[in-house]
Amino acid sequence: MTEGSEYQKLRSHLAFLRMTAAAEALPGELDHALKQKLTHQGFLERLLSLEVDSVEQRRRAGLLRFAALPSPFTLSDFDFSAQPSVDRKLIDDLATLRFIEDATNVLLIGPPGVGKTMLAVGLGHAAVRAGMRVHYTTAADLAARCHRAAIEGRWATTMRFYAGPRLLIIDEVGYLPLPGEAAAALFQVVSQRYLKGSIALTTNLGIASWGKVFNDDPMIAGAMLDRLLHRSVVLNIDGDSYRMRSHRARAEATRRAVARPKMTPSQPGEEVIT
């Protein structure tokens, strides 16, 4: 076999195996190997690690798309000094993702603006980075999707969809009351993940008020809380809204600027031109 036809064969093997990154890099890598007098092992290692990197990158990009995380914030963006009620050690421990190994749930409870979504999404990014399947949804979107699925005869598929990810983030439980059918959908999602996959759930309602989410159905609220809390980490975040804090700081700065008396030169000898 001539060198040229060997090269063509090699290209077509790589194409057949869908090793596109390796196929693209092949001429350059052959040149490099020749110039650097690389061993066969050395050459092959470089070529394959290029392919591995590219597959890894594609996989991460796919996981990130599937996760549908609503913001790019990671846990390192969280300003702990602004929210003293959040225990940094606990968040650091969650960031190790051990909680996902034993299907522990994370409940983030607190008023609007205190960083519940940011923390849940931060955990989501950490899990994606670790190569895990994550999916983010709001409770309202989950309910709407389940409603459509019921009408279109795709209930079982949709339930499997929510059972799949290693970490399911359900944001904003309790902002809107969930009608009977929606509550039943949420209950089924929580039940089927029980002891199998983690849920990170955010809510503005203290646990005692959960009946309200479920149209004052204490049975379903109780059964759901039972499953959620059995193996769980609960973060009660109180304190100021971060949004309001920065809004207030801006408003305060504006107010001060407006209220500041007109500067008049007061240095002795300075002329006042009027």
Catalog residues that contact ligand ADP under the rule CB under 6 A.
73, 78-79, 82-83, 110, 112-118, 202, 242-243
Q: Which residues have C-beta within 8 Å of that of residue 103, sequence separation ≥ 6? A: 193, 194, 195, 196, 197, 198, 231
Element (H, E) at 65: helix 40-67
The nearest distance, CB 251 to ligand ADP, in angstroms, is 16
The nearest distance, CB 88 to ligand ADP, in angstroms, is 11
The residues that touch Mg ion, with contacts defined as CB under 5 A, are 117
Question: How many Å is the Cα radius of gyration of the chain?
Answer: 28
Place of tokens 């590219």: 54
Which partner, Mg ion, ligand ADP, none, binds residue 243 by CB below 5 to 8 Å per kind? ligand ADP
Pick 74 or 192: Cβ nearer Mg ion: 74
Which partner, Mg ion, ligand ADP, none, binds residue 113 by CB below 5 to 8 Å per kind? ligand ADP
Which partner, ligand ADP, Mg ion, none, binds residue 43 by CB below 5 to 8 Å per kind? none
Pick 58 or 243: Cβ nearer Mg ion: 243
The nearest distance, CB 174 to ligand ADP, in angstroms, is 12
Reported as half-sphere exposure (CB side, CA atoms, 13 A), residue 138 has a value of 12
Query: Where does 72-143 show beta strands of DSSP type E?
Result: 105-109, 134-138
The nearest distance, CB 171 to ligand ADP, in angstroms, is 7
Distance CA 200, CA 192 (A): 15
